[in-house]
Structure 1
Amino acid sequence: MTTSASPLTAEQLSATTLLRFATAGSVDDGKSTLVGRLLHDSKSVLSDQLEAVERASLGRGQEAPDLALLTDGLRAEREQGITIDVAYRYFATANRRFILADTPGHVQYTRNMVTGASTAQLAVVLVDARNGVVEQTRRHAAVAALLRVPHVVLAVNKMDLVDYAEPVFAAIAEEFTAYAASLGVPEITAIPISALAGDNVVEPSANMDWYGGPTVLEHLETVPVSHDLTGCPARFPVQYVIRPQTAEHPDYRGYAGQIASGMLRVGEPVTVLPSGRTTTVSGIDALGVAVDTAWAPQSVTVRLADDLDVSRGDMIAPSDALPPVTQDVHATVCHLHERPLRVGERVLLKHGTRTVKAVVKALPYRIDLSHGLAHDNDPAALEVNDIGAVRLRTAEPLPIDAYAESRLTGAFLLIDPADGTTLTAGMAGEAFAEPPSAAGGAAEDEGWDF
């Protein structure tokens, strides 16, 4: 048995859009089987991959190929029959390219779901039709809301085990939609499926003629997504200062990096943050060619009209659309490390290309995801997988947008200064901003008591 399809040409691939999506759900809800069925039925599986799955399935005593093994790549996970790590797959159809993240269902791996959904434009939340909406379902809906994933699909799986009953699907869809909408999820689409049998995954189900909506793949191919960041204010984190010192360009000084959002234009007034010094863009080089305009996510070299002190970690932004510059960061975070995060902890805060010293000043609350977004006030610490609020004081001013405004320039990491371990992923909220001109000096960092 083999499954194959003619590969898409480079021209076809370049003409299609890209959708990043993540799957989530409780243990044994069928996430990996859904992804495997999606890959198999859309003819996105190479014959040797399918043969490997068939061999592994026979080794486990299964008569039919276990499509879940297409994403459960680690041997330990296969032996346990569960998904532990985030499994990424890349595939394409004639209409769209996809990057999917199959995330684990266990409560103790909430951090993995945060990782998988952090860049997702759509989340597929699976529910076992026999069990309905459970605590972990609510947890995943809350994470999607916190990460501001714009589209959520409720896939009510294992409909074959409830005789494809419409009332079962309708009740689950109504409960989940009301709950997710209360958290602020902007768009929810409910689809009844059987991942094992293939109903409504790629092909419409003959067993559910009462359902007239799209299949999972049809929805993934047609849901509107936008990669156009040019409508946002320009943000250009400096990665590298280029000074070639050549006879041809003896005075060349350029600032290389990737435009995170917006557009930059030659002649545009800009401000270098956090210093607050102003100048204009005198030139933009893209792949060694001078251009008048550049936009996200292009990697370019920007030249400025004035000789300013600009270094890696600084941000160049339009003078009329600056981000807040602050040393007091208020954020929602997901703690990723087994060592708890406590008040007084000394950490490094990595935001874009800038890394600064910071101290945890307060932990206002921990979010109890099993009850919506209820707060457990003033926790002693944030444990691994906990999501909560944190107040940080940085040693230097930081230009940081609210996460609600930008998922790119509003995100940051907290790092252990001793060994470089990533501790916490953060989403900046409302900060007490200072004017750039007043925030130019770094705080005294003796003893890290900012």
Structure 2
Amino acid sequence: MTKLPTLNSLADDLEAGRTSARKLTEECLARIADPAGEGQRTFIHVDKDAALDAADAMDRLRRANAAPSRFAGIPISIKDLFDIKGQVTRAGSRALEDSAPAEADAPVVARLRRAGFVVIGRTNMTEFAFSGIGINPHYGTPKGAWRRSEGHIPGGSSSGAAVSVLDGMAHGALGTDTGGSCRIPAAYNGIVGYKPTQRRIPLDGGVPLSFSLDSYGPLARSVGCCAILDAVLADEPVTALRQRPIKGVRLAVPTTIVLDDLDEPVAQTFDRVLKTLSRLGAEIEHIEVPEFLDAGPINSKGGFAAAESYAWHRYLLTSKGDVYDPRVSVRILRGEAISAPDYIDMLNARRSLIARINARLASYDALVLPTTANTPPRIADLAADDKAFTTENLRSLRNCSLINLIDGCAISLPAHKEGEVPVGFMLAAPGGADRRILELAAALEGVIRV
């Protein structure tokens, strides 16, 4: 596939008159409509007329030197989890099909529009965002990047978001990340996915999975693209991303949990990247992180996702439980058995965990670990086998979900070489270190695939 442009290169082309918002939007719409492509499974809804109208408006504003930002007119996709004014938010489910259209855009959607991005459509996802696999029995499952003719999973829950960027149906995507849902699909599709510190970006206007763990973030083609979208989502100035020097950077490789049971391509790629970074002068230290062992007890009854999703879904399950994906409803229903004291115990355990791990990691610039333990399995193998689905879902979520639990920020970079199975390399840090992680990732993305 031809290398697709970045947000900065598209902005340069728009400013120079080499392209237009109308042209970019028509190209994306054509890719979505291509019967030989994945568009019908990638998007749940495409509002062609509104997207073209928005593109034309951005072209007029640019001609009048009044474009709201240099990115005005660039098409992006929105995960079906978010409210868009006048549209039904289905969250990848049939249970919400008869809901009233949203009365207003979610704040994050409004911020993207305010910067002039063109909303191209609503992307498919795991129903109610509850898995790292990306299979959706209601709207189909878009095929991921790896050996597409065989049909490998796209990763979830932001499955359509990743494939829309991968296939040029959009030039950036808004996703969510509760246990890896921006980073897992990015890893499986060879793009970049960013999970910001939760408190930086408002969660209003989105269907929740876990109030404690949810965060909203971008999927895109480069670290720079993610940094641009992250700044817009957080209502911060978009500033040039300075690359941090690799020489002398202190990187911690956790030996607790995250290196267990890795598929061979994942282990080999991760080892190769560490050797490359060491050769370039990074100080890499393998350390035990015993705090990660706390995740087991905290999640033993289903964890925050089960408890908090059940609180939101309990009445909908009573009236429409029969139309839920059974693999989703069974996980939500685990929350029914979590008592108020159980939940308070989880809150206290997490608070302690965050304090202890922040202290342990204070002297390091970042944690580095494989994004997922596995490479993307075939869709057919998991669709037909509940046990295989559960096993691979847990392996996809394991490493990423630890970062949500510690209230951190993290990015997944493509680390595989051309022609190899996609593998993600994750950089992570405690909450609040977003700019540092992005600057370090910007330095690494150009060297780790050599």
TM-score interval (norm. to shorter): under 0.3
Greater share of residues in strand: 1
Structure with more contact order per residue of length (Cα contacts < 8 Å, sep ≥ 6):
2
Q: Which has the larger radius of gyration?
A: 1
TM (norm. structure 1) is 0.27
Query: Going by fraction, where is helix more abundant, 1 or 2?
Result: 2
